[in-house]
Amino acid sequence: MSCFQLAYGLRLRSDLPIPGLTINRESQFDVAVWLASPAPSSLDVDQHSALPCYTSDYLDQNGNPTLKAWRLPDSAGFKLRYSDGIEFTIDSQGNNVWGNWPPNMTLEDTAVYLLGPVLGFVLRLRGKICLHASVICVDNCALALVGPAGSGKSTTAAAFARLGYPILTDDVAAITSETDSFTIQPAYPHLRLWPRSVDMLYGNAKALPKLVPTSEWDKCYLDLSTKPNAFQLLPLPLNAIYILKQRSSATSAPFIEPMSAAEGIIALVTNSYANYLLDKSLRASEFALLTGLASKVPPKQVTPHSDPVFLPDLCETILRDFSAGQANQATKLAGNPLP
């Protein structure tokens, strides 16, 4: 039985329900996800003899690379293997994804990778540029919080959610280039948070359920599907980009600073998502789009305070700057009416 679901603007057809995704009422699909069926034997690689084309710098608790990737023979696609034994096979066009997990892992474990780095890579294969960003909805506009893992994107987004601002995406922001704007696609209706962040937000590290109850991995999730308007279901124009910098104990933090055009482009390129297997043509198209994005929506850098008690101040600082930017833009348009 096929299940039709949505993520990042992709219409997915899966042979098992993917935990955490919204249902698509249409039967048309962009990507087929196979979780109960093995990948064709033609899309295989001998992981013992073939050298990986990518090995992650990040190591697990046993000192093993968290991810290795192989290019399949005849440029047929890619094989991704995580250190816990979960594997994905992806065809070269990003039209089909096969997932496989060992007996000690579960579908929920597999979905953690699928909804993050795997679909992020699928989007790149399909020509979509993605940023490491959590995105919130403010006044029907997308506001992106950009930064690497550990920079506080999801925590800040969760703080905005507590203030009543809908969430568009967590960690992976898929960008669609329109005629005169850039839009962000909705991802999935939950935020992933480490227990420390949960404790900061709710005063109790166990206030939210674990993302995978049976796993030793202790990441939690904030369910956005149970509250009206907590999850933004439709894509929105991207009107503001804030690059999260290293936290500071300075009395002036949190504070926002402008960036030069070159700094903005470098920041966006540095925080592009799933770029480790891109060829030269995809990297060139990525650079062109992000250069255009930096010109249209100039990024700013925001320095949070190192003390979590200032998290509400961070949200207020960003909202105040966003409102001022929107007002300035409205003034410019009023002074230059269209013919």
Instruction: Report pLDDT digits (tens) over 117-159.
Output: 999 999 999 989 999 999 999 999 999 999 988 899 999 999 9
Residue 133 sits in the same domain as residue 105: no
By the 8 A CB rule, do 119 and 10 touch?
yes
Q: Residue 337 has what pLDDT?
A: 53
For 41-81, the pLDDT digits (tens) are 888 877 666 788 889 988 888 899 999 999 988 888 999 99
Of 82, 105, 125, the residue at which a domain comes to its end is: 125
Residue 260 sits in the same domain as residue 274: yes
Residue 182 sits in the same domain as residue 155: yes
Residue 41 sits in the same domain as residue 151: no
Of 125, 145, 166, the residue at which a domain comes to its end is: 125
| CATH code of 146's domain | 3.90.228.20
Residue of 287, 283, 280 whose CA lies nearest to 266: 287
CA distance 249 to 304: 9
Residue 194 included in any domain: no
Residue 86 included in any domain: yes
SS3 call for 264: helix
Tokens of 164: 């009543």
Q: Residue 102 has what pLDDT?
A: 94
Residue 120 sits in the same domain as residue 144: no
Residue 206 included in any domain: no
SS3 call for 193: strand
Q: Which amino acid makes up residue 159?
A: A
Mean local confidence (pLDDT), 276-289: 84
Mean per-residue pLDDT over the chain, rounded: 91
How many helices and strands in the chain, by DSSP H and E? 7, 19
By the 8 A CB rule, do 82 and 96 touch?
no
Residue 27 sits in the same domain as residue 69: yes
Residue 67 sits in the same domain as residue 184: no
Tokens of 250: 């300075």
For 229-279, the pLDDT digits (tens) are 999 999 999 999 999 999 999 999 999 999 999 999 999 999 998 887 777
SS3 call for 11: strand
Q: Residue 241 has what pLDDT?
A: 97
Which are the contacts of 136, defined by CB distance < 8 A and separation ≥ 6? 142, 143, 145, 157, 160, 161, 165, 166, 167, 168
The gap from C-alpha 286 to its chain's centroid, in whole angstroms, comes to: 16
Residue 151 included in any domain: yes
* Count: domains in the chain: 2
State the first-to-last Cα distance of the chain, in angstroms, to the nearest integer.
55
Structural domain that includes position 55? 3-125
DSSP structure class, residue 231: B
Tokens of 290: 């992000």
Q: Taking phi first (over 0 means left), then psi (-120 to 50 degrees means alpha), and beta for anything else, what does residue 19 get? A: beta
Exposure pattern of 164-179 as b/e (b: 16+ CB <10 Å)? ebbbbbbbbbbbbeee
Residue 100 sits in the same domain as residue 156: no
278 by Cβ neighbours in 10 Å (0-12 / 13-18 / 19+) ranks as: middle
Q: 272 — phi, psi (to 5°)? A: -70, 155
Residue 170 sits in the same domain as residue 62: no
The gap from C-alpha 323 to its chain's centroid, in whole angstroms, comes to: 25
Q: Residue 49 has what pLDDT?
A: 64
CA distance 310 to 306: 8
Residue 175 sits in the same domain as residue 247: yes
Residue 154 included in any domain: yes
Residue 135 sits in the same domain as residue 261: yes
CA distance 293 to 299: 9
Of 125, 151, 170, the residue at which a domain comes to its end is: 125
Residue 216 included in any domain: no
> What is the residue whose two structure tokens read 């409205």?
330
Residue 261 included in any domain: yes
188 by Cβ neighbours in 10 Å (0-12 / 13-18 / 19+) ranks as: buried
Predicted model pTM = 0.91
Tokens of 106: 């579960």
Q: Which amino acid makes up residue 285?
A: S
Mean local confidence (pLDDT), 79-91: 94
Residue 62 sits in the same domain as residue 158: no
Give percent of the chain with pLDDT exceeding 90: 72
Residue 153 included in any domain: yes
By the 8 A CB rule, do 177 and 325 touch?
no
For 204-238, the pLDDT digits (tens) are 999 999 998 877 778 999 999 988 899 999 999 99
Paired strand residues for 132? 172
